[in-house]
Copies of this chain bind each other. A is one copy, B any other.
Amino acid sequence: MNEIKALLFDVFGTLVDWRGSIAREARALLAPRGVAIDWEAFADAWRAEYQPAMEEVRSGRLPFSKLDALHRRNLDAILPRFGLDRLDEAARVELNLAWHRLDAWPDVAQGLARLRTKFRLAPCSNGNVSLMVDLARRNDFPWDAILGAEFARDYKPKPIVYLASAAAFDCTPAQTVMVAAHSSDLAAAAAAGLRTAFVARPDEHGPGKGEQRANVPVDVSVPSLIALADRLGCR
């Protein structure tokens, strides 16, 4: 790993707790309106529409659209299942912005600050630029640039997303590490020639329901970004 110059990060699940944050934000907005549902189930249902929506873009059936727009389509699709088909437009707009208010796992800000002393850092997420900007401001992510899907105008795991992000940093794929809590993301990055680091987020989908360990070969496997900074020699 001596030639590494840049680190690219998956964000949803890897850096931020989307499930707990979406459940909290949905409750904060809807409970005062008398809504009482299983908030974690609501977060899970919303997230379950994520891959199918992006597949519309990856397959070419839909032109590239920001993830915010896909999140909104997906929200409209799931609201009836929770008895919320009559939720007004203003509330839907506000609820959709919940994805801009996700909280980081506790090791992330400190880990990124250490990693930045040696490497160029960017998210390589399917989230759009403005969403990444809001998460960075909220959680003190010290990005050098916002790369990923909107920059490449396609969605992971298409190889162009990883390759365009590495190239923006003037790095070859072999000089770039993809950091993620998901084996599928790392397998795609490795197939594109990147190095890979697995960060365990065992509670991503609820207690004990995240990936405990990578089920594909990876270059590094760590329990936190602090441990990754240690492994990569960052003070």
Which residues of A does B touch, CB under 8 Å?
68, 120, 128-130, 132-133, 136-137, 143-147, 150-151, 168-170
Interchain CA distance A60-B82 in the complex, whole Å: 51
Contacts of A137 in B (CB 8 A): 144
User: How many identical subunits does the complex contain?
Assistant: 2
Asked if B168 and A145 make an inter-chain contact with CB atoms under 8 angstroms apart, the answer reads no
Contacts of A145 in B (CB 8 A): 129, 132-133, 143, 145-146
CB distance from A146 to the nearest CB of B (A): 4
Given A68-B170, A130-B170, A151-B151, 13 more pairs with CB closer than 8 A: A120-B130, A120-B133, A129-B147, A129-B169, A130-B168, A130-B169, A133-B145, A133-B169, A136-B144, A144-B146, A145-B146, A146-B146, A150-B168
CB distance from A10 to the nearest CB of B (A): 18
Contacts of A144 in B (CB 8 A): 133, 136-137, 146
